[in-house]
Structure 1
Amino acid sequence: MIKTSKVQYSKNQYEITLQNNNGMIVKLLNYGATLEKILVPTENGELVDLILSLDKPEDYSKEQNFLGGTIGRVIGRIKSGIWQKNSSKTYHLELNENNITHSHGGTKGLDTRNFKFELKQSATKCSASFYYLDKAFTNNYPGNLNIKVKYLLNDQDTLFYSVSAFTDETTLCNIGNHVYFCLDGPKTTVENNFLKINADKYLQLDKNHIPFGKPKKVLNNCFDFRKAKTIKQALDSSDYQIKNENGLNHPFILNQKLAPAIKLYSSNKKRSMTLRTTAPSIVVYTGNHFNCTGITHNFKKYAGIALETQIPPSAENHLQSITLEPNELYLTKTSWSFKY
């Protein structure tokens, strides 16, 4: 049955449940507008989680890990943390990655904030909308940024995710979700999952994980996922880009908006996820850093795959492309459709 509910687990922090008529359950946290769990029924009536999740809701605030979080103001990295606004005033953003780059909005990014929220439901769908005012000069970003994040679950087993934002001063904005999928279920890896990407080009990364140069063709190399193949085929490649990153961590330039951008299949192909998005690119990251330590002690290398929909972090004119003006609306939409 369609159902929405909430449980308070800490001061100003709630776990929210969305459930459709098929028994699919989505767990959300107002902390970071986070996608905590996607639970689907199995043949024997049990539930299996198709994304990487921590043990308890309380764990998400113990250590910044980005799992399922809404990341911003800028998902991805900014070289040297420097942004020159309108070719005049220069802003220095927090260097929170090896004291070299500004990464994922900083240590006080949106994924660490408590959002206000409201729940709605009808006979065939239910939703949770999250609201947050990111005040000017948080992490040294100018402008007050009003943000709305919405999750909507329907009876076709599709979860819709959208982010809208507006500012009172020119700022940077490129917000996305950092959920990790694992269609074989917990305590596995995604190496034998099958991946298909509707992209002819990708971007290379330098030693600091910053894209450089112009988009490269995927033709005849390990980045060619235009036909479904196992993720392991890319991970086992001798390509120096894979070796330098210990896996995939690369932006793919999508061929067409709202067409199926990604198809991800479990190793036995009995489960699948289809991703559609209005964003022009997806950063595909295979959990290369997980090492069974810290708050993510249950996750080993390649435990999940993040499919980060965003404006492509290209080296050429990147910061101009993610500049948001006071008269503009930032809006991005992504959907994840499941078969199980």
Structure 2
Amino acid sequence: MNNTTIYGSVEQRLFGYTQEGIPVHEYTLINKNGLVMKVLSLGGIVRELWVPDKNGRLVDVVLGYNSIEEYERNPGYLGAIIGRFANRIAYGRFQIDGITYQLALNDGGGKRPNALHGGVKGFDKKVWKTFAEVTPEGPKVILKLHSHDGEEGYPGNLNVTVIYTLTNENEWKIEYFATTDKPTIVNLTQHTYFNLNGEGKIYDHWVLIRAEKYTSVNENLIPTGEIAPVEGTPYDLRRQIRLEEAIARLMSEYPNLKGFDINYVLFESEGNSEKFERFAGVVESEKSGIRMEIYTTQPGLQFYTGNYLQGFQGKYCQIYDEHTGFCLETQHFPDSPNHENFPKTVLRPGDKYYHVTRFKFLVG
């Protein structure tokens, strides 16, 4: 496939085969300004994203691997779509209409295991039905997946569509759609790790998150149910701060932590709030001058500073260890089905799940 127009272009190639022999394709999107994104049909993984720095040089700002074998393992969920439910669910249990459902337990271990990121074989491990096109908005990849009733313990047949658009406004736009035939829970996000320098640690990045509250968690990273103010805590990122300082401040107050892994509350109440995109935050690199703004309809933003990257071998012979990348996962709150005061994640037949997130790139 090679469709070049004034709006950009798309190319497709065979990337490899899974252990089950399923072909995986890679789609290369180029917008009219020369930004480049490479996407795999496996997990909807964003493998490369090239953005111009302050000197006009293209920088690959996402972490990734070289081979399909590494992506099939992918313990850090690099670049992938996460579902059916992103983040953690305590003990892997929840109720809908008085019925208790038990999910696969793949996080935490010991006496307090949880369900994490959709289970043992979540959406990140699936090969999606994928096609691409060029539109006036920019080139896009459309990914579709059917998750059957009972998969990983979740009720209902769920049909999911995720659309990535590399817009001609230099945005990576992500749209999430889902429908079900039985009441279920849905919480979709994207788990790309960013490094706006393309290499090294993220300490010279400046971060701002426009959130006055966060969901406090216990030692197992499960929300306590309290929606707490950031005021007076090291989680307060409402003013731009260098990540090296922010992480040091956090670890000084909480020595057991290795960095940020917390959900910020962008809004709390149901209603029309989820229909409107809002500015959630910005990250900017001193070295490259690349600035990334985040806009979303989602009520939460999980900020994670790659605390548990453990020497993974990545692209360009790089080693990914702690603080070599960060995630900004727009989503609903962790363990939402078990907290009445959190925005709801139940999807019912006849309803449509829809959210959108944009990462907008600028050079400062």
- TM-score normalised according to structure 2 size: 0.87
Are residues 1:10 and 2:22 paired? Answer: no
How do residues 1-340 of structure 1 correspond to structure 2 at under 5 angstroms?
Answer: 2-11=8-17, 12-42=23-53, 46-87=57-98, 89-99=99-109, 100-122=113-135, 125-186=138-199, 188-237=200-249, 242-254=254-266, 257-268=276-287, 270-293=289-312, 298-313=319-334, 316-317=339-340, 321-340=344-363
Could you give the per-residue CA deviations for residues 137-190 of structure 1, whole angstroms, max 9, x where no partner exists?
A: 11011111000000011221111001100000111110111111111212x111
Asked if structure 2 preserves the Cα contact closer than 8 Å seen for 1:203 and 1:216, the reply is yes
| Kept after mapping to 1: 8 A contact 2:65/2:314 | yes
Question: Within 2, Cα distance between the matches of 1:242 and 1:75?
Answer: 25
Counterpart CA distance in 1 for 2:108 and 2:215 is 22
Task: Give the letter for the 1:120 counterpart.
Answer: E
The one-letter code sitting in structure 1 at the alignment partner of 2:327 is: A
Separation in structure 2 between the aligned mates of residue 58 and residue 338 of structure 1, nearest angstrom? 31
| Contact 1:36–1:53 under 8 Å retained in 2 | yes
Q: CA deviation at 1:235?
A: 1.1
Cα separation, 1, equivalents of 2:250 and 2:44: 38
Change in CA separation of 1:318 and 1:76 when aligned onto 2, cut-off 3 Å: farther
Partners of 2:64 and 2:314 within 8 A in 1: no
Does 232-241 or 93-102 show the bigger shift? 232-241
Q: Distance in 1 between matches of 2:33 and 2:254?
A: 40
Q: Any unmatched runs of 5+ in structure 2?
A: 1-5, 18-22, 268-272
User: CA, structure 1 residues 320+25, in 2 after alignment: closer, same or farther (shift >3 Å)?
Assistant: closer
Q: 1:225 & 1:269 partners in 2: Cα distance?
A: 22
Distance 1:14 1:115, change over 3 A: same
Aligned counterparts of 2:361 and 2:156: Cα–Cα separation in 1: 38
Distance in 2 separating the partners of 1:44 and 1:196: 24
Deviations along 1:251-270, whole A, 9 cap, x unmatched?
A: 10115852321100002471
Contact 2:187–2:345 (CA under 8 A) maintained in structure 1: yes
Mapped to 1, the partners of 2:211 and 2:292 lie a distance apart of 17
- C-alpha deviation, 1:44, in angstroms: 6.4
| 1:55-78 deviation digits (Å, cap 9, x = unpaired) | 234421134431111101000001
Other structure's SS at 1:105 match? coil
Given that 1:63 and 1:295 are in contact with CA atoms closer than 8 Å, whether structure 2 keeps it comes out as no
Task: Specify whether residues 93 and 32 from structure 1 end up closer, same or farther in structure 2 by C-alpha distance, changes over 3 A only.
Answer: same
Aligned pairs, number: 338
Q: Which moved more, 1:250-259 or 1:14-23?
A: 250-259
Long gaps (5+) in structure 1: none
Q: What is the one-letter code of the residue matched to 1:84?
A: Q
Please give the alpha-carbon distance, in whole angstroms, between the structure 1 residues aligned to 2:350 and 2:253: 40
Percent identity reads 28
Does the CA-based 8 Å contact 2:306-2:325 persist in structure 1?
yes
Residue 65 of structure 2 aligns to which amino acid in structure 1?
Answer: L
Mark the CA change 1:150 to 1:190 in structure 2 (over 3 Å): closer, same or farther. same
| Structure 1 residue matching 2:357: 3-state secondary structure | strand
SS in 1 for 2:259: coil
The alignment partner of 1:60 has SS state of helix
CA distance in 2, matches of 1:228, 1:58: 39
Q: Provide closer, same or farther for how the CA distance between residues 237 and 45 of structure 1 changes in structure 2, counting only shifts above 3 A.
A: closer
CA-atom RMSD in angstroms: 2.2
Secondary structure of the 2:231 match is coil
